[in-house]
Structure 1
Amino acid sequence: MTFETGAVLQPGRGEIPGALYLPASEANTFWGRLPCETDVAVLTVDPGDIVTIDTISHEGILDDQGRDPVAFFAQHGVAAEAVLDDAVAIAASTGRRDPAVDGPHVVTGPIAVRGAEPGDVLTMTLVTATPRVPYGVISNRHGRGALAGELPRGSENVSVFAAATRDAAGSLVGTLPRTPGGVPSVTFPLHPFLGIMGVAVAGDERPHSVPPGPHGGNIDISLLVEGASLHLPVQVPGALAYVGDPHFAQGDGEVALTALEASLRVTVRFDLITKQDARARFGEIAGPLAETAEFLVPTGLDEDLDVAVQKCVRAALDLLHARFGMEESVAYAYLSAATDFNISQVVDLVKGVHARIRVSDFDD
């Protein structure tokens, strides 16, 4: 990861590591909805291709923030030239999003992968995730969050500005005031990742950008940092992949509604696994499956958190049987003794749970 305090990656400027580049222009993005089968790809790639993609955070461009990112961020001391040009263009665009029925997220895509067919598995690996700006926003909106109806206390939504810097050791950290406008501040580690990685759904209806599902979408799994992969069951020819909802950091749960939302330039490798090979490696993949160097990460998604946990456990059992040949009762015991089940998020209508199965336990 590369980052310099004060650096701003405007469209087309700065380092572009991938062989292909997809800017977050109006023509290349959706706002509040996710691609479906009838949408036309803005880029077509071969399996194995590596693409650098610009993403835009929705924080600072939404209607309840004035839909003017230059003015919004000026309140926090950000100069106009440090506001992203593509964010300004998206905010100024008309007829793209109805705040009454659409979600908040800007997604870049769709990207068609040659040869992808329903039943195959698309693997999206995050090669790099570079902050485009040295700041972000954490918001709590009325009717949303883990304490909906209780927080925020006042009548207005609360958006907390955060700076991104490097500490004395050179690590990326976020900084928040302990009280509005107050000092001293609190700092915390940053781990940039994409909240949204997905494939198009079948049919001609674009899904809302907030609830995740078998297509992926807004899964908000903070383990999906540089080097991690997300495996998704392909639902339409070409897969029609997309990315968005960039984060600088997120705690599991994302309890206030958003985490540290901020724009990223990401580089993603697109790989394709045939249906037969995917079944041998992972079992029946009914939804998102993440993978890091340390963990296999099956998921469970449901409006009911208890049901989401159950779905995640079943997915983990199936994965352990397919990958390592574990008998069900032994796998169940192993999960209880050795695997953490984490709440991905509780704020996206459909709640998420993910398991962390250590691959080092199966080195043989």
Structure 2
Amino acid sequence: MPELIFPLDSSKKFTDQKIIGHNRYHPDIPAAVQIRPGDTFRLDCREWFDGAIRNDDSADDIRDAPMSCVHVLSGPIAVEGAQPGDLLIVDILDVGPIPQEDSGPLAGQGWGYTGIFAKRNGGSFLVDQFPDAYKAIWDFRGQVATSRHVPGVSFTGNIHPGLMGTAPSAELLAKWNAREGELIATDPHRIPPLALPPEPKDAILGTLSGEEFDRVAGEAARTAPPRENGGNQDIKNLTKGTRVFYPVFVPGANFSVGDLHFSQGDGEITFCGAIEMGGFIDLHVDLIKGGMDTYGVAENAIFMPGNVAPQYSEWLAFSGTSVTLNGKQRYLDSHLAYQRACLHAINYLTKFGYSPEQAYLLLGAAPIEGRLSGVVDIPNACATVYLPTAIFDFDIRPSARGPVKIDPGIGAPKSPG
């Protein structure tokens, strides 16, 4: 096993650990540990809510999830010699649930969860159709996930980190806050909000304290969206064997990782759409000096996907176009087209006995493929959702016999939001 440089005690809260991580982005958050180019190491990671979600049959914890706390990240990790303008090479050597434990109170200890978030607490990709909070618990057996809340399916997890990234420079942070603030100002009372401004409440900033903590907490960016530094990209293909190239904006790069997922469908469409878990990740890092300019990688991460993702060969695909539910035409709106494709898949699965919420939770958690299939044929964009047929223990293909009727079991727990 590589050297564990960021340990987490499962019996303690994130803020009570020997080494304290962070849940905001700011260039002045001190590095928690330092490594050298060429080093291989292990990090423990806590699931993004630090244990707030429980393995039970209630969705109250999803409804009341403390959004100001996320994401709890392991880091920052300073890389010796890294300077602004370099590219940080990050190889994912291994990633998995909390090792040596198959049961316990924390997500990752033999189980994980998927949540549809209430509209007042973040919402989801399909928030207008699903405004309330729902939850599904998934049990792990090796690499396979099953759920008492979504029966009749099992699938191999494509385990990956939802969030990895480097720290922003002061100039880049100011750019983030300015542009996101301008967006919020266009509809400041919108629910859910258009963006999340800096929030001092529940900020975790490593070893900072006193006036410096207060200053940074008032400026630091939330970790919810992906940005130029990588961040919360939620790319399900960042599996074992992946190599990522991150822009470096501050001395040391100050790299962080968290938000591990046992599995996820493209888009993480329920917002907490993956199977969330805590666990470990083994990494190797190196540098390309001056790589940002050499390769023109100045405001995005690029990556080479791993080769251990589940391999499904048969699919049932659903298409959607950029026309609203009430028949209004939108011009090449690929976001709307993907929403419509997802809604078509959900509606189809209800014909077999699933509730719409069970189908929605499944699309967030299972390794579905989402694609932009047409973005040039005015006025309609076309998006598609590919659902692997092998994950079901019954045949979901259309036939003259009609759909099989399954027992939906206890269903997905709901908490009105």
Per the normalisation by structure 2, the TM-score is 0.53
**Structure-to-structure mapping, 1:1-364, within 5 angstroms:** 17-24=1-8, 26=15, 28-30=19-21, 32-34=23-25, 36-59=26-49, 61-62=51-52, 65=53, 72-73=54-55, 75=56, 99=66, 102=68, 104-132=70-98, 133-143=109-119, 144-152=123-131, 154=132, 157-166=133-142, 172-177=143-148, 179=150, 184-203=151-170, 205-258=219-272, 259-275=274-290, 277=291, 279-280=293-294, 282-292=295-305, 342=371
Structure 2 unaligned spans of 5+? 9-13, 58-64, 99-108, 171-215, 308-331, 336-368, 373-417
User: What secondary structure, in the 3-state scheme, does the structure 1 residue paired with 2:154 have?
Assistant: strand
Amino acid at match of 1:286: E
Amino acid at match of 1:287: N
How big is the shift at 1:213?
A: 0.3
How big is the shift at 1:61?
A: 2.8
Count of residues in Structure 1 that have an aligned counterpart in Structure 2: 241
Give the RMSD, CA atoms, in angstroms. Answer: 2.8
How big is the shift at 1:99?
A: 4.3
User: What secondary structure, in the 3-state scheme, does the structure 1 residue paired with 2:70 have?
Assistant: coil
Aligned partners of 2:253, 2:231: CA distance in 1, in Å?
Answer: 13
Contact 2:237–2:306 (CA under 8 A) maintained in structure 1: no
Aligned partners of 2:134, 2:257: CA distance in 1, in Å?
Answer: 26
Aligned partners of 1:223, 1:54: CA distance in 2, in Å?
Answer: 20
Distance change >3 Å, CA 60–CA 23, structure 1 → 2 = closer
Aligned partners of 1:240, 1:251: CA distance in 2, in Å?
Answer: 29
Amino acid at match of 1:145: S
Q: Which has the higher contact order (CA 8 A, sep 6+)?
A: 2
Point out the structure with the larger strand share: 1
Amino acid at match of 1:288: A
Aligned partners of 1:222, 1:18: CA distance in 2, in Å?
Answer: 24
1:259-303 per-position Cα deviation (integer Å, ceiling 9, x unaligned) = 10011211111111111x5554x4334211111367xxxxxxxxx
Aligned partners of 1:242, 1:306: CA distance in 2, in Å?
Answer: 33
**Which has the higher Rg, Structure 1 or Structure 2?**
2
How big is the shift at 1:255?
A: 0.8
Aligned partners of 2:117, 2:148: CA distance in 1, in Å?
Answer: 19
How big is the shift at 1:59?
A: 4.7
Per the normalisation by structure 1, the TM-score is 0.60
Percent identity over the alignment is: 29
Deviant stretches of 4+, over 3 Å: 27-32, 277-280, 282-285, 305-308, 340-343
User: What secondary structure, in the 3-state scheme, does the structure 2 residue paired with 1:185 have?
Assistant: coil
1:39-89 per-position Cα deviation (integer Å, ceiling 9, x unaligned) = 111110000111100001135733xx5xxxxxx33x36xxxxxxxxxxxxx
User: What secondary structure, in the 3-state scheme, does the structure 1 residue paired with 2:76 have?
Assistant: strand
Amino acid at match of 1:104: V
